[in-house]
Amino acid sequence: AEMLVFETAEAGAQVVADHIAQAVRASSAFTLGVATGSSPLPVYAALARHAAGGADFSRVSAFALDEYVGLPAGHPQSYAEVVAREVTEPLGLDPALVRVPDGGAEGIETAGDRYEEALIEHGGVDLQLLGIGATGHLGFNEPGSSFASPTRVKTLTERTRQDNARFFDSVDDVPMHCVTQGLGTILRARHLVLLAFGEGKADAVAAAAEGPVTASMPGSAIQLHPRVTVVLDEAAASRLA
Ligand code: F6R
């Protein structure tokens, strides 16, 4: 992987956003894979500045990595709402071109397959933004997930529910399940850009980028991909060899 270490998250995010804006200028039919959580927020902020400066993202398609199962439609912490608020609106994407897995309880048995089909029919993702969990998860593929896994329903680990409790009133309000792109799905994207900032990510980053390739460290799947860029601040890079 190409490893880029910056003094601040904002500096790294600016480089990623400039690269995306350039790729969109070259081919307006660009498809962006969006992650939620904190790590990509400075990238979205930098892309919003490009949009405010006249960049046209209206023909960019977007596919989200994952969604909680069972939150009521319109719940502010559902990833459909988070993506609308943090990506679609500030960047000026066409909402018709933005897809998030369907976490509605009804039809949940087919939600993974339907999303997988939509991705394949669309022609896949050009650049997939990724964060990494303290457990090493990519998307919500927790340790033990197959490197060949497709989009499917998963149970969140207790650790991940605790980590995400900050977005809810309490950990009890964090859903138990999610629909997530699989590691196999993520590995089909043409370029992976993994963002990790802060000391709390240092161990996961070192294990993912330099440790053994193993299902017990889902992040190590990046070592199987021919085109990966890892964007770090100094704290997140501090345990690299
Ligand atoms: C988000 C996602 C997760 C996060 C990861 C890191 O769509 O799939 O894998 O990227 O939990 O979260 P943050 O960036 O909040 O530390």
Confidence of residue 33 (pLDDT cuts 50, 70, 90): very high
- Ligand 1 centroid to residue 161 C-alpha, Å: 11
Structural domains in the chain, sorted by start: 2-233 (3.40.50.1360)
- DSSP three-state, residue 48: helix
Mean pLDDT, the chain, whole residue set: 97
Cβ atoms of residues 126 and 191 within 8 Å: yes
Burial class (CB in 10 A: 0-12, 13-18, 19+), 120: exposed
Ligand 1: residues whose CB is within 6 Å?
35-39, 65-66, 131-133, 137-140
Helix crossing, 9-26 with 41-52: angle to 10°?
Answer: 50
88: DSSP letter: I
Please determine, for residue 46, whether its predicted confidence score (pLDDT) is greater than 80. yes
Burial class (CB in 10 A: 0-12, 13-18, 19+), 177: middle
Distance, CA of 119 to CA of 8 (rounded, Å)? 33
Indicate the helix (H) or strand (E) that contains 194: strand 191-196
Q: Measuring from atom 10 of ligand 1, which residue has the nearest CA?
A: 131
- Ligand 1 centroid to residue 217 C-alpha, Å: 15
- Ligand 1 centroid to residue 39 C-alpha, Å: 7
- What's the predicted TM-score (pTM) here? 0.97
pLDDT tens across 193-231, in order? 999 999 999 999 999 999 999 999 999 999 999 999 999
φ, ψ at 229 (rounded to 5°): -120, 125
Fill in the amino acid letter for 225: H
Average pLDDT of the residues in 116-139: 97
